[in-house]
Structure 1
Amino acid sequence: MIAQLVKSAADQGVYLYAKEGALHFDLTVAEFPATLKQDIIANKAEIIAFLSHAQSADSESQRPQPGHYPDGCVLSYTQQRFWLLEQMQSGQSQYNMPVALNVEGALELTLVEKVLSTIVARHQILRTVYREQDDEVRQHVLQNSDVTLSFVDLSDCEGEQQQAQLSQCLLEEAQRPFDLTQQLSIRGQYLKLQGTGHTQQGVLLLTLHHIASDGWSMDVLINEFVTLYRAYSAEQVNPLPELALQYADFAVWQRDKMQGGEFEKQLTYWQQALEDAPLAHSLPTQHHRPEVKQTQGAHVTATLPAYVAQQLGEVARQAHLSPFMLMHAVLGVVLSRHSNQSDIVIGTPVANRADEALSPLIGCFVNTLALRLNTCHSTLAEYFAHVRQVHMNAQVNQDVPFEQLIDALNLPRTSSYTPLVQIMLTTNDKFTDGADESSLLNLPDLSLSPLQGSHPAIKFDMEIALNISDKQIETIWNYDVALFDAEFVEQLSEHFNNALIALADMSAQTRSTLPLNRLSILGDKLESYLIDGLNNNAADYPLEQCIHEIFEQQAMQTPDQIAVKFGSKQLTYRELNERANQLAHFLTREYQVTRIPLLACVLSARWK
C-alpha cells in the first residue's frame, strides 16, 4: 500500500523522500493535490519508514565511495569541459578564480604558506594535474603540496600611484594562466602596502583555476584558511576533521551514475524542454561581438530598500514562488522587452552536492541549469505559475551535467560565446552565505575583509548576482565590456528595479488579473511623461478656418522650415504646400472633385 502511495504521488508530480527522519517533497505541479496530501499525512510515519529503508538499502551503491587511483582517474564532465577549453584557448585566464582580501595587522607570511600547504595536502584536487595517455585525459595527484607565497612590496609608493600599481598587480596575477599539466591549481601572492607588525596593511590574493573550484569551494577555502591560521598562530594542531572523500571519488561516481536509466529520463526532459531554444540571446549590444569571447568585465550595482524587499517577499509567498523565482521571473520580462524576444534562456548554478560528504570538499561540482521562460502568457498570474513549473522541473532533473546536455542537443560550438547560456543569474554569492563576514574573518591581531572592486574575469556575456534579505535587495550586474556599455546596463538595472517596485506596490487583486504586458518597467515618472507629457500638445486655432487655410498661413510664415520627414527624405512647408496644391488641382481637373466630407487617395509608386 505504501509503495503504491509513493508511486501514485510521483505520478501526480509529488516526489517524496526522507532525510534525517523527516519527510520532504519536491513538486513539479502548481499545487499539492488535496486528496493526495490527506493520504500522505495519514500515512506519514509509514512513508518515512518505507523511504528510509529503501534509501538505506541502496545508498551505498548510489553514493560516492573512497578509492585509490595509482594509474590516474577519469575526469568529471566539468573537468573534461575545462580541459577542452584550455586546449582551445591556450594561455587564456578566463577561468581563473581570484579572491583578494584586505589585510590589516600582523600577517605572518610563513604561517600563510603553512596554512595553504595544509589545505593543498588536504584537498587532492588542488594538487591534481591532467595528462593525456592512450588517447584519454586522466587526472593524477601530485605528492608535493608545498605552497610558496609570492611577495610584492608596494610600500615605496603612496596615494593614487600606489592604488594604480596595486590594481595593475591584481590584474596581472588574475590574468596569469595556469599550466594544468604541471602546476598546482592554486597560488598565492601578498602585496604589502605599508607598515610593519600590528600596523601592517596589505592585500592577500589567492587564485584558483575553475577546474578545481567553484563558488561553494571558495567559501570552504576561506573558512578553512581562517580556521587553520587561528589554530597555527596559537601553536595548536590542525583542527579540521579528515575528509571522507576526494574529488576524484566524485568523478568516478558521476561517470558510473550517468550510465543508468534515471540519467536517460532526465536527459530526455531537457532535450524536450530546450528543443529549438535560441542559440544566443537577442539583447542589443553596443559593440560587435568579437570572434573570440573576451573576459574583461565591469559592473553596475543597485539596491532596493527594506520595505520593497519585505513586500516582494509577501508577493513571492502569495504567488507560491521563492524570492529567487520571483526575481528570475521579473528579469525574464525585462530581457524580453529589451530584446523583443519572448523565448528567454537564463542560466543558474546549482551546488550539485546532494551527498553531505561532498559538502566540505573543494572542487568544481557546480552544475548549470538552463531555465527557459516564455513571456507570452496573458496574465501575470499565469506567467508566475509558468516560472514556478520551470523551476520545479529543473530541480527534479538537475543531475544531468551541463556539458552532457550541450553534446546531446548537438549545438554548434563557437569561440564567440558560451553555448545555450550567455546570461547567468545567481544569488547570495558571498563567503559567508549571509552570515556576519567580519566575525568570520577576524583573527587575533589581524583582520581580513574582501577587497571591494576586485572581480574575476567574466565568463558569460552578463552575470547578475542577487543578494536577497529582509533588509535590502542588492543586484550586481557584471557585464562583458566588449559587448555592452555601462549606460545600457544601468538602464537594464533601472528597469529591473522599476518592475520590482511596481510589484511591491501592487495589490494582490491587481496582480491576480494584471495582463503581463501591463507590468511596467519604466517607472511612474517616465511612464507619465511618455503617455501624458509628450501628448500634451493641445493648441488653440481659429474655428472659422479650415485646416488647409491654417497650413497655408504657416507655410507663409516659415516657408523654409522642415514640415515632414520620412527616412532620408524631407519637405519644407513651402514644398509641401506646393505639392498639396498640385494634387488638389489635379483632382479638380481630372475627376471634378468638389467639396466633400472625405476623400480617399490611393497613390502609386510614382507619387511617393
Structure 2
Amino acid sequence: MSQMTEIENMYTLTPMQKGMLFHSLAEPESSVYFEQTSFDIEGQFNVKVFEQSLHHLVERHDVLRTIFSMYIPEQPLQIVLEKQHFQVHYEDLSSISTSNQEKYVEMFREKDRHAGFDLTRGPLMRVSVLQKSDVAYHLIWSFHHILMDGWCMSLVIKEVFQMYQQLLEQKRPSLPPVTPYVRYIDWLENQNMEDAAAYWKRYLEGYDLNLNLPGRRKKQAEGYQKEQVVLEITKEQTAQLNHLIQQAQVTQSTLLQMIWGIVLQKYNSSNDVVFGAVVSGRPSEIPGIEEMVGLFINTIPVRITCTEKESFLTCLERSQQLSIESKPYDYYPLYDIQVQSERKQELIHHIMVFENYPVEEQMEKFLDQDYLSLQIRNIQIYEQTNYDFFLMVVPGERISIHFEYNAFVYERQEIERIKGHVAHVIDQVITHPTIPIEEISILSEVEKQQVVFDYNATEAEYPSDKTLHALFEEQVARTPDKIAIEFEGERLTYEKVNKKANQLAFYLRQKGVAADQLVGIMIERSPQMIISILAVLKAGGAYLPLDPQYPEGRIQYMLEDSQTKWLLISEQNRHSALFSGEVINMNNPDLFHPENTSNLESITEPHHLAYVIYTSGTTGKPKGVMIEHRNMVNLLHYQATKTTIPHPAKILQFTTISFDVSYQEIFSALLYGSELHLIHEETRTDT
C-alpha cells in the first residue's frame, strides 16, 4: 500500500501542540512532555485479549494513530494514519523474588521514561505488562503529551477495559461513537484571533514585574530531578474554603489562584503579579467534547492585582470577574500572548494546574466495578513539564496542593517554606475573608519570632555607626590581596576593586554628588556594575538600579520620578535619549584618574539613603522604596552572626539588579571577605 493510501487525514496543530513539537525536536533526549501511568492488576488477566482491546481502541480514536510532520517547517502537520501497528510488550517476572520484582519494575519504568518517542514515526503510545504471578500483573501505559491530556487517561482506560470485558464474553466490542479530534481543530481555526490578541494585550498592559520565587538557584546539573512537597488541607479547612467560595460566588480555582497571588505579591513587594494557569480548553459548543480524546489544554496568564487597603474578599470577587472575561479567549497561544507583553518570554516562570477530574479517582471508580473481576491497586502517574516549579491542586474532601519542582534548581527546605507560607495565608483568609491585603502575612509565628525579636535583638550589637562602604573599606584593609570579584576568568582583588571605586567616586563627587542624591546605574552584571555601586556610595550618594532588560518606558519613568541627576551606563547600554540629566559612560578612561585611589572622606551617615529600588505599583506605575545604610547593615549583620549557616567562601550574584535580594548577595560577600562570582545575564536565564 502506498504512503498516500495509508493516510486517513491531515490537519494543523493546536498552539499547545506546536510548542510541544518544537521543544521535543529541539531537545530529543529530554523527557519533558512524557506521560506515564502505571498500576497493579490483581486477578485472572488475559494479556492477549487485552492487546486486542487496545487494537480496537487505536482504531476508535484518530489521535492514537497520529504522527507529526515537519516537512514544511513553517506549517507542521499532524497526520492520521489509516492503520497503526500496536503491540503490547510483555514480560514474565514470576520466577524471581518479590523484592527483585519490585526493583525490576521500578527500573523498567525509569528506562521506559528515557526511551522517549519519535514524533515523526509513531506509535506515540506504549503499553507494557509485567506478570508477577498467576494473579498479579503490573501495567505501564506511556504516551507523549502531544497526543492527549492527562485527564484523557481515565477515558481511554475506561474504554479499553469495557472492550476487554466484551471480548472476554466473546462479544464484538461496541461503544458509543466518538467525535474525531479534527472537529476541535476546525473550531479552533474559526475563532477570532485578532479579538483574542487585543484582549490579552489589554489584560497585561502596564505589567513589567520581573517576578522571583525565593530559593531559586543556579542549576546544579543538567536535566530534571523531579521532587514534590505536598500541603494537605484539613477537612475543616476545606469546608471553610468551600464556604468562602459560596459566599463570594467564585470557583475553587479562582480562590486558590488568589491565595497564591497574594503569596507572590509578598515575595516580590508588589501588588501586581502574573503567573500561568492551565485551562481545560474544551469548548462546550462542540457536541461530544467531554468524551473526545486529544490535547485541549492551554496555558494562559493569571494577573492578580490588589491595592494594600482593599480586602481579600473584594480582590477575590474582582479576580472571578476577570476569569469570566478571559474564558472566551483562553484558546489563544501563550507564545503570542507573551510576544505582546512587556516581559516577553520572561512573562511566566511557573504554572498552577487544577486537576478538576482526578485521574486516579476516576480510574479507581470505574475499574473497581464487580463485573471486571479485576482489582486495580497502586495507581502512579508520572508527568514532566518544562517548568522548574509548578503547583498542582487536587480537589476532594481534603484539598491538597502539590508543589512540584526540579531539585537541580530548588532546595527542598525552600519549597517547604513556600508550603508553610501558603498554609498561613489560607488560615488567615478563611477566618477573616475581609482582611485588608496589607495585613495578610506570609510569616508563621516562628518566622515572626525570628524576624521581630531575634532580628531586633541585634540592635545593641550591630555596627550602627557604620555605612556600607565604610564596612567594605574595613574588609579591604583586612584582606587587600584576597579575590573580591570573579567574572569569566577575570579576578579582581579587594584592593583593586577599592581603588577603582575610589577613582570613580572622586569623579562623581566632583560632579556634585552628595548625600541622598540619586545616581542611576544601568549596567549589565559585571565588575563595572559592582564598582559603580561602591563608587556611588563612597561619593556620598545613593544609587538607583535600572535593569537594562526593562522596557524603555519603565526606565524613563523611574529616572523622571526619582529626579535622578546622573546616569552611569556601559558601552552596551546607551540609553541617553531617555535621560535629560548627565550620562556618564563607564568606558571613559577619564573617570579613573591614577592618582585618586585613596578612600574619600565619608560625607554620609547610617541614616542616609543607600539605594532606591522600584517595585510594580497598583496603578501600572512603579513606586520607589528607599533603603538606608543602617537597614542593610542591620540585615547583613544579623545574617552573618545570628544564623547557624556558615558564611560561604564564594557567593554567586544571581538575581537581577532590580531585585532587592541582589544587594544581600553583593554585600554579604564584599563586607565579609567572600569571593563574589558574577555571570552573564544569558547564562543566568539559561539556568
Please, what TM-score do these two structures have when normalized by structure 1? 0.69
Q: Of 517, 521, 540, which residue of structure 1 is paired with 2:442? A: 521
Matched-pair contact (CA < 8 Å) for 2:7–2:82: no
Deviation at 1:276, TM superposition (A): 5.2
- Which 10-residue stretch deviates more, 277-286 or 224-233? 277-286
Which residue of structure 1 aligns with residue 205 of structure 2?
Answer: 275
Q: Which amino acid aligns with 1:107?
A: F
Deviation at 1:285, TM superposition (A): 3.6
Q: Measure the CA separation in 1 of the matches of 2:442 and 2:604.
A: 42
Q: Measure the CA separation in 1 of the matches of 2:339 and 2:95.
A: 53
Q: Which amino acid aligns with 1:328?
A: Q
Deviation at 1:289, TM superposition (A): 4.2
- Which 10-residue stretch deviates more, 484-493 or 269-278? 269-278
Q: Which amino acid aligns with 2:165?
A: R
Matched-pair contact (CA < 8 Å) for 1:280–1:420: no
Deviation at 1:161, TM superposition (A): 4.7
User: How far does the alpha carbon of each residue in 1:104-154 deviate from its partner, in whole angstroms, 9 at most, with x for none?
Assistant: 222221122112211111111111112244554322222323421112444
Q: Measure the CA separation in 1 of the matches of 2:472 and 2:76.
A: 64
User: How far does the alpha carbon of each residue in 1:316-359 deviate from its partner, in whole angstroms, 9 at most, with x for none?
Assistant: 22233222211111111122323444432222222222223222
Q: Which amino acid aligns with 1:124?
A: D
Which residue of structure 1 aligns with residue 415 of structure 2?
Answer: 489
Matched-pair contact (CA < 8 Å) for 1:189–1:204: yes
Q: Which amino acid aligns with 2:429?
A: L
Alignment of 1:121-140 (within 5 A): 121-133=59-71, 136-140=75-79
Q: Measure the CA separation in 2 of the matches of 1:477 and 1:530.
A: 25
User: How far does the alpha carbon of each residue in 1:185-216 deviate from its partner, in whole angstroms, 9 at most, with x for none?
Assistant: 21111233x321xxx33321111111111133
Task: Identify if the C-alpha distance between structure 1 residues 221 and 570 changes in structure 2 by more than 3 Å, giving closer, same or farther.
Answer: same
**Structure with greater Cα Rg:** 1
Matched-pair contact (CA < 8 Å) for 1:441–1:449: no
Deviation at 1:372, TM superposition (A): 1.3
Task: Identify if the C-alpha distance between structure 1 residues 407 and 505 changes in structure 2 by more than 3 Å, giving closer, same or farther.
Answer: closer
Matched-pair contact (CA < 8 Å) for 1:150–1:188: yes
Q: Of 416, 424, 448, which residue of structure 1 is paired with 2:376? A: 448
Alignment of 1:425-436 (within 5 A): 425-431=353-359
Matched-pair contact (CA < 8 Å) for 1:428–1:465: no
Which residue of structure 2 aligns with residue 16 of structure 1?
Answer: none
Task: Identify if the C-alpha distance between structure 1 residues 381 and 152 changes in structure 2 by more than 3 Å, giving closer, same or farther.
Answer: same
Which residue of structure 2 aligns with residue 101 of structure 1?
Answer: 39
- Which 10-residue stretch deviates more, 157-166 or 455-464? 157-166
Identity, in percent, stands at: 19
Which residue of structure 2 aligns with residue 228 of structure 1?
Answer: 163
Q: Of 207, 214, 217, which residue of structure 1 is paired with 2:142? A: 207
Q: Of 172, 175, 180, which residue of structure 2 is paired with 1:237? A: 172
Task: Identify if the C-alpha distance between structure 1 residues 525 and 606 changes in structure 2 by more than 3 Å, giving closer, same or farther.
Answer: closer
Deviation at 1:385, TM superposition (A): 3.1
Alignment of 1:87-236 (within 5 A): 87-133=25-71, 136-158=75-97, 161-192=100-131, 194-196=132-134, 200-236=135-171
Specify the SS of the correspondent of 1:372: strand
Task: Identify if the C-alpha distance between structure 1 residues 407 and 569 changes in structure 2 by more than 3 Å, giving closer, same or farther.
Answer: closer
Specify the SS of the correspondent of 2:325: helix
User: How far does the alpha carbon of each residue in 1:497-540 deviate from its partner, in whole angstroms, 9 at most, with x for none?
Assistant: 1211222233xxxx33x3212113333455467546877999xx
Which residue of structure 2 aligns with residue 605 of structure 1?
Answer: 602
Task: Identify if the C-alpha distance between structure 1 residues 405 and 532 changes in structure 2 by more than 3 Å, giving closer, same or farther.
Answer: closer
Deviation at 1:84, TM superposition (A): 1.8
Task: Identify if the C-alpha distance between structure 1 residues 158 and 266 changes in structure 2 by more than 3 Å, giving closer, same or farther.
Answer: same
Q: Measure the CA separation in 1 of the matches of 2:379 and 2:59.
A: 27
Q: Of 460, 467, 474, which residue of structure 1 is paired with 2:387? A: 460
Q: Which amino acid aligns with 1:216?
A: W
Bigger relative CO (Cα 8 Å, ≥ 6 apart):
1
Task: Identify if the C-alpha distance between structure 1 residues 435 and 214 changes in structure 2 by more than 3 Å, giving closer, same or farther.
Answer: closer
Deviation at 1:98, TM superposition (A): 1.0
Q: Measure the CA separation in 1 of the matches of 2:128 and 2:208.
A: 42
Deviation at 1:273, TM superposition (A): 1.2
Alignment of 1:3-402 (within 5 A): 72-133=10-71, 136-158=75-97, 161-192=100-131, 194-196=132-134, 200-243=135-178, 245-255=179-189, 257-258=190-191, 260=192, 263-275=193-205, 277-278=207-208, 281-289=211-219, 294-354=223-283, 355-379=286-310, 380-402=312-334
Check if 1:476 corresponds to 2:402: yes
Matched-pair contact (CA < 8 Å) for 2:40–2:379: yes
Structure 2 residue ranges without an equivalent (≥5): 1-5, 475-539, 541-599, 606-687
Q: Measure the CA separation in 1 of the matches of 2:22 and 2:385.
A: 19
Alignment of 1:565-584 (within 5 A): none
Matched-pair contact (CA < 8 Å) for 1:495–1:522: yes
Q: Which amino acid aligns with 1:372?
A: R
Alignment of 1:510-589 (within 5 A): 511-512=433-434, 514-524=435-445, 526-527=447-448, 530-531=451-452, 564=463
Specify the SS of the correspondent of 1:301: strand
Q: Measure the CA separation in 1 of the matches of 2:42 and 2:163.
A: 18
Specify the SS of the correspondent of 1:72: strand
- Which 10-residue stretch deviates more, 423-432 or 351-360? 423-432
The total of aligned residue pairs comes to 467
Q: Measure the CA separation in 2 of the matches of 1:114 and 1:235.
A: 12
Q: Measure the CA separation in 2 of the matches of 1:346 and 1:505.
A: 26
Q: Which amino acid aligns with 1:357?
A: G
Q: Which amino acid aligns with 1:493?
A: K
Specify the SS of the correspondent of 1:359: helix
Q: Measure the CA separation in 1 of the matches of 2:443 and 2:161.
A: 46
Q: Which amino acid aligns with 2:59?
A: A
Deviation at 1:412, TM superposition (A): 5.3
Matched-pair contact (CA < 8 Å) for 2:208–2:342: no
